[in-house]
Amino acid sequence: MDVQRRNNVRVTGRPDGPVVMLAHGFGCDQNMWRLVVPALAEQYRVVLFDYVGSGRSDTSSWSRERYASLEGYAQDVLEICRELDLREVAFVGHSVSAMAGVLACVAEPERFGRMVMVCPSPRYIDDGEYRGGFSEEDIGELLDSLDSNYLGWSATMAPVIMANPERPELGQELTNSFCATDPDMARVFAHTTFLSDTRADLDKVRVPTLVLECSHDVIAPRGVGAFVQASVPGSRLVTLDATGHCPQLSAPEATRQAILSFLGGPRDV
């Protein structure tokens, strides 16, 4: 198996620098990091990739069984780490990728040195006192709409997820990204994302962790970030002055400054 070709792995930055791996979220690909990469590449060896079924990955390697759980995405991460013999990785995961990173870090902790979770959510559905932002009925309707008309759902939901209506080009970019994904593969990824529950795995993370949230985010609302921070030992929470679920596009300067500040900080939990 050619993992680098399968996951469209691209390595840039300082060849001898510490490793930073950037992982995209649902409906996206590595291009979503393009406004953050140049600043990171000045000091770090930056590893980018597309999950199988996304971007320019080898979709012939896609398996419904594997990618119907977050463990399948975590395996993509781990297989890239093994292929490139990566250690002490600073893993930066956006949205659901933050949770795939948690599973990867718990499975092979020797591979990871730091974690950055950008707009994470360990569970999207409200559960007792836990407020994920959506009722079970909300998620059911969202997935039913996505299943019946993926392209229409993408055109409607992407601008809502991105927010920043005064900058419609951002919502259009996310729409285009969603629509470029194979609908059948996207449906599986969506069900995996919105029905996931990784709350029980958070306290198993044993590396310094930064939780980045936005001041207003309809997908991962305020309170979710605080839950994640309280659940991951020794982690810290930073609230970006940004709107929407994709601050690496809508507020790239604040996002990269927060990441760089954390990566340059103390290495103990």
Catalytic, out of 95, 177, 231, 250: 95
Is 29 among the residues known to form the active site?
A: no
Is 245 among the residues known to form the active site?
A: yes
CA–CA separation, 92 vs 47, rounded Å? 10
Catalytic, out of 217, 231, 235, 250: 217
CA–CA separation, 129 vs 49, rounded Å? 36
CA–CA separation, 158 vs 11, rounded Å? 28
Contact 197, 225 (CB under 8 A): no
Residue 81: exposure state from Cβ atoms within 10 A (0-12, 13-18, ≥19)? buried
Catalytic, out of 29, 121, 245, 250: 245
Residue 18: exposure state from Cβ atoms within 10 A (0-12, 13-18, ≥19)? middle
Is 85 among the residues known to form the active site?
A: no
Residues 6+ apart with CB under 8 A from 82: 3
Residue 229: Cβ within 10 Å count: 20
Q: What is the DSSP letter of 17?
A: S
Q: Active-site positions?
A: 95, 217, 245
